[in-house]
């Protein structure tokens, strides 16, 4: 298992000129070493789709160095080009990352056999390197069917699934039909507790960018049998979990972090600032949680 609990889907901080702000990135990584259970870089929340291949490589290498094996670094290495995904995953392994999070190929809209062959070839090309499948059909228009996930889970170094899907029955079926050492992580903060309840192993979390202790504690209170405490804390975070998706991720989490003084910089186009109404809503929620005075 790559990690159990809360893996933070880390934002990529930018300077005013839109270059990656590595000093701020170092600050964020060091903050999470004692608060989260893993750090995911170059994912959706990290604006991977607007980063060049060289920028992704720099971020992965830098993050591994800063983390210094004190917390797992999982690199987003997915692509809709299988050769590019292999290149990036090989690089992540060489750079010392602990594993890779690989999103389904987007735009191509491949069939299930294409999905299987895509992931199987990556796994074969980067042996002994843990891979987490990332299923997010709302963004990619591609859904890994349950039978395909079961088949992929039999490949030794495909060790888990990040499931960003509202269908809890589907997730329960995946848990039932895969081995216990195949990890299932919620890809949606608002489904964290329900997914833990059907046998999930944690979450790859957007909210953890600003509430890392709280997300970690929900997971571990549940694992330790403190179900009422886990439930109460989950309900407290439900409202902010919803508000952070009032606009396309990672727009709202970056807006929130800047309101809270993290100074992670602007978004890269085509992502852009949210509406005044959304800013007012998230400001109100942050104040309700006593995060913003």
What does 250-284 look like in DSSP terms, one character per residue?
Answer: THHHHHHHHHTT-----PPTTS----HHHHHHHHH
d(Cα 179, Cα 114) in Å, to the nearest integer?
23
* Residue count of the chain: 293
| Cβ neighbours around 38 below 10 Å, total | 27
Catalytically active residues are 134, 162
Instruction: Using CB atoms within 10 Å of the CB of residue 248, give its burial: 0 to 12 exposed, 13 to 18 middle, 19+ buried.
Output: middle
Cβ pair 131, 102 in contact under 8 A: yes
């Amino acid at each position: 298992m790559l990690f159990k609990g809360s893996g933070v889907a880390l934002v990529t901080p930018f300077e005013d000129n839109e270059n990656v702000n590595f000093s701020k990135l170092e600050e964020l990584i060091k903050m999470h070493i004692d608060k989260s259970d893993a750090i995911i870089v170059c994912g959706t929340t990290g604006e991977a789709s607007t980063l060049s291949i060289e920028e992704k490589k720099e971020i992965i290498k830098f993050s591994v160095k800063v983390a210094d094996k004190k917390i797992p670094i999982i690199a987003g290495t997915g692509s809709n080009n299988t050769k590019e995904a292999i290149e990036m995953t090989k690089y992540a392994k060489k750079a010392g990352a602990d594993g890779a999070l690989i999103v389904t190929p987007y735009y191509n809209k491949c069939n299930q056999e294409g999905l299987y062959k895509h992931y199987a070839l990556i796994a074969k090309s980067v042996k002994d390197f843990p891979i987490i499948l990332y299923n997010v059909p709302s963004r990619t228009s591609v859904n890994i069917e349950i039978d395909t996930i079961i088949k992929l889970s039999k490949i030794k170094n495909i060790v888990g699934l990040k499931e960003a899907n509202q269908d809890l029955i589907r997730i329960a079926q995946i848990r039932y039909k895969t081995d216990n050492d195949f990890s299932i992580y919620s890809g949606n903060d608002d489904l964290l507790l329900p997914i833990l309840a059907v046998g999930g192993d944690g979450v790859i979390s957007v909210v953890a960018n600003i509430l890392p202790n709280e997300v970690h504690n929900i997971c571990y209170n549940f694992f330790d049998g403190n179900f009422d405490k886990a439930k109460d804390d989950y309900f407290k975070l439900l409202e902010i979990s919803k508000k952070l998706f009032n606009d396309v991720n990672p727009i709202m989490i970056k807006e929130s972090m800047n309101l809270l003084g993290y100074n992670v910089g602007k978004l890269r186009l085509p992502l852009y600032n949210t509406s005044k109404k959304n800013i007012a809503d998230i400001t109100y929620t942050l104040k309700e949680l006593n995060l913003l005075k």
